[in-house]
Amino acid sequence: MSSSAEAPPAVLAAGGALWRPADGGGIETAVVHRPRYDDWSLPKGKLDAGEHALTAAVREVAEETGLTAIAGRRSVRSEYAVGDGTKRVDYWLMRVVGGEFVPNDEVDQLRWLPLEDAAAVVSHEADRAVLADLARTDVPREPAVLLVRHGRAGDKSGWDGPDELRPLDGKGRRQAARLAEVLPLFAPSAVLSARRTRCRETVEPLADRLGLPVQDLLELGEEEFAADPEAGVAVVERLLARDVPGVTVVCSQGGAIPSALVALGVRGPGAVDGVWPPAAKGSVWALGGRPGALAADYYRDFAPGPHDGAAPRPR
Protein backbone atom coordinates (compact mmCIF):
# COMPACT_ATOMS: atom_id res chain seq x y z
CA MET A 1 0.00 0.00 0.00
CA SER A 2 1.35 3.41 -0.87
CA SER A 3 1.92 6.01 1.80
CA SER A 4 -0.84 8.15 0.28
CA ALA A 5 -3.37 5.38 1.05
CA GLU A 6 -2.22 4.80 4.62
CA ALA A 7 -4.51 5.82 7.46
CA PRO A 8 -3.62 9.19 9.03
CA PRO A 9 -1.94 9.01 12.43
CA ALA A 10 -4.21 9.13 15.44
CA VAL A 11 -4.89 12.50 17.04
CA LEU A 12 -3.43 12.24 20.54
CA ALA A 13 -5.13 13.89 23.50
CA ALA A 14 -5.25 13.54 27.29
CA GLY A 15 -7.51 14.58 30.12
CA GLY A 16 -8.57 14.06 33.69
CA ALA A 17 -11.45 12.71 35.76
CA LEU A 18 -11.49 15.28 38.54
CA TRP A 19 -12.70 14.39 42.01
CA ARG A 20 -13.00 15.77 45.53
CA PRO A 21 -14.67 14.59 48.76
CA ALA A 22 -18.39 15.29 48.82
CA ASP A 23 -20.32 16.70 51.74
CA GLY A 24 -21.83 13.80 53.61
CA GLY A 25 -19.34 11.24 52.30
CA GLY A 26 -18.29 9.79 48.99
CA ILE A 27 -16.87 11.85 46.16
CA GLU A 28 -18.09 14.15 43.43
CA THR A 29 -16.65 14.90 40.02
CA ALA A 30 -16.48 17.88 37.68
CA VAL A 31 -17.94 17.96 34.17
CA VAL A 32 -17.49 20.85 31.75
CA HIS A 33 -19.59 22.38 29.00
CA ARG A 34 -17.83 23.21 25.73
CA PRO A 35 -19.74 25.86 23.77
CA ARG A 36 -17.96 24.96 20.53
CA TYR A 37 -19.55 21.50 20.58
CA ASP A 38 -22.46 22.24 22.94
CA ASP A 39 -21.65 19.11 24.92
CA TRP A 40 -20.85 18.10 28.50
CA SER A 41 -17.62 16.18 28.89
CA LEU A 42 -14.51 15.63 30.98
CA PRO A 43 -11.72 18.19 30.56
CA LYS A 44 -9.18 17.16 27.94
CA GLY A 45 -7.09 18.47 25.06
CA LYS A 46 -4.49 17.63 22.45
CA LEU A 47 -0.85 16.93 23.25
CA ASP A 48 1.64 19.67 22.39
CA ALA A 49 4.72 18.74 20.40
CA GLY A 50 7.29 17.09 22.67
CA GLU A 51 4.74 16.43 25.44
CA HIS A 52 3.93 13.23 27.31
CA ALA A 53 0.26 12.34 27.75
CA LEU A 54 0.44 12.73 31.55
CA THR A 55 1.84 16.26 31.45
CA ALA A 56 -0.68 17.14 28.74
CA ALA A 57 -3.55 15.84 30.89
CA VAL A 58 -2.56 17.97 33.88
CA ARG A 59 -1.93 21.03 31.70
CA GLU A 60 -5.24 20.75 29.87
CA VAL A 61 -7.18 20.34 33.12
CA ALA A 62 -5.57 23.48 34.51
CA GLU A 63 -6.16 25.47 31.31
CA GLU A 64 -9.80 24.46 30.89
CA THR A 65 -10.92 24.57 34.51
CA GLY A 66 -8.49 26.79 36.45
CA LEU A 67 -8.28 24.02 39.06
CA THR A 68 -5.14 22.59 40.62
CA ALA A 69 -5.11 18.80 40.69
CA ILE A 70 -2.78 16.00 41.75
CA ALA A 71 -2.27 13.19 39.26
CA GLY A 72 -3.49 9.85 40.51
CA ARG A 73 -4.13 6.44 39.04
CA ARG A 74 -4.00 6.11 35.28
CA SER A 75 -7.51 5.55 33.98
CA VAL A 76 -8.91 4.19 30.74
CA ARG A 77 -8.14 5.18 27.18
CA SER A 78 -10.89 6.13 24.77
CA GLU A 79 -10.53 5.88 21.02
CA TYR A 80 -13.08 7.02 18.46
CA ALA A 81 -13.37 8.14 14.85
CA VAL A 82 -12.76 11.77 13.91
CA GLY A 83 -12.95 12.69 10.24
CA ASP A 84 -10.90 10.17 8.27
CA GLY A 85 -8.89 9.03 11.29
CA THR A 86 -9.13 8.33 15.00
CA LYS A 87 -8.69 10.27 18.21
CA ARG A 88 -7.02 8.62 21.20
CA VAL A 89 -7.53 10.12 24.65
CA ASP A 90 -5.63 8.95 27.74
CA TYR A 91 -7.17 9.83 31.11
CA TRP A 92 -5.86 10.06 34.64
CA LEU A 93 -7.82 10.34 37.87
CA MET A 94 -7.00 13.69 39.51
CA ARG A 95 -7.77 14.95 43.00
CA VAL A 96 -8.55 18.66 43.07
CA VAL A 97 -6.65 20.57 45.75
CA GLY A 98 -7.20 24.21 44.80
CA GLY A 99 -7.93 26.80 42.16
CA GLU A 100 -11.16 28.36 40.94
CA PHE A 101 -13.11 27.95 37.72
CA VAL A 102 -13.33 30.97 35.44
CA PRO A 103 -15.32 30.69 32.17
CA ASN A 104 -13.08 30.78 29.11
CA ASP A 105 -13.18 30.32 25.34
CA GLU A 106 -13.09 26.52 25.59
CA VAL A 107 -15.26 25.91 28.66
CA ASP A 108 -18.10 28.20 29.73
CA GLN A 109 -19.59 26.08 32.55
CA LEU A 110 -18.32 23.64 35.17
CA ARG A 111 -20.56 21.54 37.41
CA TRP A 112 -19.63 19.40 40.42
CA LEU A 113 -21.90 16.36 40.54
CA PRO A 114 -22.20 12.96 42.21
CA LEU A 115 -20.75 10.27 39.94
CA GLU A 116 -24.12 8.84 39.01
CA ASP A 117 -25.48 12.25 38.04
CA ALA A 118 -22.32 13.08 36.09
CA ALA A 119 -22.63 9.85 34.10
CA ALA A 120 -26.17 10.85 33.14
CA VAL A 121 -25.12 14.39 32.13
CA VAL A 122 -22.06 13.72 29.94
CA SER A 123 -22.73 13.56 26.22
CA HIS A 124 -20.33 10.76 25.24
CA GLU A 125 -20.22 7.09 26.18
CA ALA A 126 -16.42 7.22 26.40
CA ASP A 127 -16.69 9.67 29.30
CA ARG A 128 -19.05 7.32 31.12
CA ALA A 129 -16.39 4.61 30.94
CA VAL A 130 -13.89 6.94 32.63
CA LEU A 131 -16.44 7.85 35.32
CA ALA A 132 -17.10 4.15 35.94
CA ASP A 133 -13.37 3.70 36.51
CA LEU A 134 -13.36 6.67 38.90
CA ALA A 135 -16.14 4.95 40.87
CA ARG A 136 -14.09 1.79 41.49
CA THR A 137 -13.44 0.96 45.13
CA ASP A 138 -11.33 -2.19 44.72
CA VAL A 139 -8.15 -0.17 44.05
CA PRO A 140 -7.19 3.32 45.27
CA ARG A 141 -7.49 6.43 43.15
CA GLU A 142 -3.92 7.49 43.88
CA PRO A 143 -0.62 5.60 44.03
CA ALA A 144 1.23 5.35 47.32
CA VAL A 145 4.64 4.40 45.90
CA LEU A 146 6.54 5.48 42.79
CA LEU A 147 9.16 2.75 42.32
CA VAL A 148 11.94 4.15 40.13
CA ARG A 149 14.82 2.30 38.53
CA HIS A 150 17.97 4.41 38.42
CA GLY A 151 18.98 6.08 35.17
CA ARG A 152 21.69 4.83 32.87
CA ALA A 153 25.12 4.68 34.44
CA GLY A 154 27.33 3.52 31.59
CA ASP A 155 29.13 0.21 31.28
CA LYS A 156 30.32 -1.38 34.49
CA SER A 157 33.49 -2.53 32.73
CA GLY A 158 34.42 1.08 31.98
CA TRP A 159 34.31 2.15 35.63
CA ASP A 160 37.46 1.74 37.72
CA GLY A 161 36.01 2.40 41.18
CA PRO A 162 33.67 0.41 43.44
CA ASP A 163 30.46 -0.40 41.61
CA GLU A 164 28.32 1.20 44.33
CA LEU A 165 29.94 4.54 43.47
CA ARG A 166 29.33 4.31 39.70
CA PRO A 167 27.60 7.55 38.66
CA LEU A 168 24.99 8.33 36.03
CA ASP A 169 26.22 9.01 32.51
CA GLY A 170 24.89 11.78 30.28
CA LYS A 171 21.71 9.94 29.35
CA GLY A 172 21.16 9.00 32.98
CA ARG A 173 21.39 12.63 34.05
CA ARG A 174 18.85 13.57 31.37
CA GLN A 175 16.55 10.84 32.65
CA ALA A 176 16.93 12.20 36.19
CA ALA A 177 16.09 15.71 34.99
CA ARG A 178 12.97 14.44 33.23
CA LEU A 179 11.81 12.61 36.34
CA ALA A 180 12.27 15.84 38.30
CA GLU A 181 9.97 17.59 35.81
CA VAL A 182 7.18 15.00 35.78
CA LEU A 183 7.01 13.22 39.16
CA PRO A 184 6.01 16.39 41.08
CA LEU A 185 2.62 16.02 39.33
CA PHE A 186 1.98 13.18 41.82
CA ALA A 187 2.87 15.47 44.78
CA PRO A 188 5.49 13.21 46.43
CA SER A 189 6.02 13.70 50.16
CA ALA A 190 9.18 11.59 50.62
CA VAL A 191 12.15 10.44 48.50
CA LEU A 192 14.02 7.24 49.39
CA SER A 193 16.96 5.59 47.63
CA ALA A 194 19.09 2.50 47.71
CA ARG A 195 22.60 3.37 48.86
CA ARG A 196 24.15 3.52 45.39
CA THR A 197 25.49 6.68 43.78
CA ARG A 198 23.52 6.10 40.58
CA CYS A 199 20.29 5.66 42.55
CA ARG A 200 20.76 8.81 44.61
CA GLU A 201 21.75 10.83 41.54
CA THR A 202 18.57 9.70 39.80
CA VAL A 203 16.28 11.21 42.45
CA GLU A 204 18.40 14.09 43.78
CA PRO A 205 17.10 16.57 41.15
CA LEU A 206 13.54 15.60 42.11
CA ALA A 207 14.27 15.93 45.83
CA ASP A 208 15.90 19.33 45.27
CA ARG A 209 12.86 20.54 43.36
CA LEU A 210 10.53 19.35 46.11
CA GLY A 211 12.71 20.60 48.96
CA LEU A 212 12.99 17.12 50.43
CA PRO A 213 16.00 15.08 51.62
CA VAL A 214 16.98 11.81 49.93
CA GLN A 215 16.70 9.17 52.64
CA ASP A 216 18.64 5.89 52.54
CA LEU A 217 16.66 2.69 52.03
CA LEU A 218 19.11 -0.15 52.45
CA GLU A 219 16.71 -3.06 51.90
CA LEU A 220 16.15 -2.24 48.23
CA GLY A 221 19.78 -2.23 47.13
CA GLU A 222 20.43 -5.06 44.68
CA GLU A 223 22.79 -7.05 46.89
CA GLU A 224 20.81 -6.33 50.06
CA PHE A 225 17.58 -7.47 48.40
CA ALA A 226 19.21 -10.65 47.12
CA ALA A 227 20.42 -11.43 50.65
CA ASP A 228 17.01 -10.82 52.25
CA PRO A 229 14.19 -10.43 49.71
CA GLU A 230 11.50 -10.73 52.37
CA ALA A 231 12.81 -7.62 54.11
CA GLY A 232 12.80 -5.69 50.83
CA VAL A 233 9.25 -6.68 49.98
CA ALA A 234 8.14 -5.89 53.52
CA VAL A 235 9.46 -2.34 53.16
CA VAL A 236 7.37 -1.77 50.02
CA GLU A 237 4.31 -3.30 51.69
CA ARG A 238 4.68 -0.91 54.64
CA LEU A 239 4.91 2.07 52.29
CA LEU A 240 1.82 0.88 50.43
CA ALA A 241 -0.09 0.51 53.70
CA ARG A 242 0.65 4.03 55.01
CA ASP A 243 -2.53 5.88 55.97
CA VAL A 244 -1.04 9.36 55.66
CA PRO A 245 -1.54 11.21 52.36
CA GLY A 246 1.35 11.57 49.95
CA VAL A 247 3.35 9.46 47.55
CA THR A 248 6.74 7.99 48.43
CA VAL A 249 9.36 7.88 45.67
CA VAL A 250 11.72 4.91 45.97
CA CYS A 251 14.77 4.49 43.70
CA SER A 252 16.13 0.97 43.38
CA GLN A 253 17.94 -1.33 40.96
CA GLY A 254 17.12 -3.79 38.21
CA GLY A 255 18.02 -6.80 40.32
CA ALA A 256 15.47 -5.88 43.00
CA ILE A 257 12.49 -4.20 41.33
CA PRO A 258 11.11 -7.09 39.20
CA SER A 259 11.45 -9.57 42.07
CA ALA A 260 9.69 -7.23 44.49
CA LEU A 261 6.88 -6.65 41.99
CA VAL A 262 6.35 -10.37 41.41
CA ALA A 263 6.15 -10.89 45.17
CA LEU A 264 3.44 -8.22 45.28
CA GLY A 265 1.46 -9.93 42.52
CA VAL A 266 2.42 -7.68 39.61
CA ARG A 267 3.20 -8.99 36.14
CA GLY A 268 4.46 -7.22 33.05
CA PRO A 269 2.04 -5.20 30.86
CA GLY A 270 0.25 -7.64 28.59
CA ALA A 271 2.31 -10.58 29.84
CA VAL A 272 1.22 -13.96 31.11
CA ASP A 273 1.93 -15.24 34.61
CA GLY A 274 5.56 -16.11 35.17
CA VAL A 275 7.01 -13.32 33.02
CA TRP A 276 9.05 -10.77 34.91
CA PRO A 277 7.69 -7.21 34.99
CA PRO A 278 9.82 -4.74 33.02
CA ALA A 279 12.08 -2.27 34.81
CA ALA A 280 13.97 -0.26 32.23
CA LYS A 281 16.53 2.27 33.42
CA GLY A 282 14.77 5.50 34.31
CA SER A 283 11.34 3.81 34.39
CA VAL A 284 8.66 4.19 37.06
CA TRP A 285 6.06 1.85 38.52
CA ALA A 286 3.16 3.70 40.19
CA LEU A 287 1.74 1.36 42.84
CA GLY A 288 -1.31 1.66 45.05
CA GLY A 289 -3.38 -0.79 47.05
CA ARG A 290 -2.37 -4.04 48.65
CA PRO A 291 -0.57 -7.16 47.40
CA GLY A 292 -2.88 -9.13 45.13
CA ALA A 293 -5.11 -6.10 44.50
CA LEU A 294 -2.72 -3.45 43.28
CA ALA A 295 -3.19 -0.68 40.79
CA ALA A 296 0.16 -1.01 39.00
CA ASP A 297 0.98 1.42 36.20
CA TYR A 298 4.25 1.15 34.28
CA TYR A 299 5.85 4.25 32.79
CA ARG A 300 8.67 3.13 30.53
CA ASP A 301 9.72 6.76 30.33
CA PHE A 302 8.14 10.18 29.99
CA ALA A 303 9.12 10.75 26.39
CA PRO A 304 6.66 12.59 24.13
CA GLY A 305 3.59 10.77 22.90
CA PRO A 306 0.93 8.41 24.25
CA HIS A 307 1.54 6.39 27.36
CA ASP A 308 3.20 3.01 27.16
CA GLY A 309 0.39 0.89 28.55
CA ALA A 310 -0.70 -0.07 32.03
CA ALA A 311 -0.03 -3.40 33.62
CA PRO A 312 -3.07 -5.62 34.08
CA ARG A 313 -4.34 -5.32 37.62
CA PRO A 314 -3.89 -8.55 39.61
CA ARG A 315 -7.03 -10.36 40.67
**Stretch 262-269: mean pLDDT, rounded?**
84
**Stretch 115-121: mean pLDDT, rounded?**
98
Q: What is each CA distance from 140 to 71, 75, 186, 203, in whole angstroms?
A: 13, 12, 14, 25
Per-residue buried b or exposed e for 21-50, using 16+ beta carbons within 10 Å of the residue's own CB: eeeeeeebbbbbbbeeeeebbbbbbebeee
Kindly tell me if the per-residue pLDDT of 131 is higher than 50: yes
Kindly tell me if the per-residue pLDDT of 229 is higher than 80: yes
Q: Which long-range contacts (CB under 8 A, 24 or more apart) does 210-218 make?
A: 210/184, 212/188, 215/190, 215/191, 216/192, 217/192, 217/193, 217/250, 217/252, 218/194
> Residue ranges per domain, the chain?
3-134, 145-299
Question: Cβ contacts of residue 29 below 8 Å, gap of 6+?
Answer: 17, 18, 19, 112, 113, 114, 115, 118, 131, 134
Residue 311: the pLDDT is 41
3-state secondary structure 206-273: HHHHHCCCEEECHHHCHHHHHHCHHHHHHHHHHHHCCCCCCEEEEEECCCCHHHHHHHHCCCCCCCCC
What are 8-49's pLDDT values in tens digits? 778 999 999 999 999 989 999 999 999 999 999 999 999 999
pTM for the structure as a whole: 0.91
Per the document, the length of the chain is 315
- Cα–Cα distance measured from residue 65 to residue 193, given in angstroms and rounded to the nearest whole number: 36
CATH superfamily to which 145-299 belongs? Phosphoglycerate mutase-like (3.40.50.1240)
What are 148-189's pLDDT values in tens digits? 999 999 887 778 788 889 999 999 999 999 999 999 999 999
When comparing pLDDT for 313 and 296, which is higher? Answer: 296
When comparing pLDDT for 70 and 274, which is higher? Answer: 70
Residue 272: the pLDDT is 46
Q: What's the CATH code, domain 3-134?
A: 3.90.79.10
**Stretch 56-76: mean pLDDT, rounded?**
97
Antiparallel, parallel or unpaired: β 247-252 and 188-193: parallel
Kindly tell me if the per-residue pLDDT of 77 is higher than 50: yes
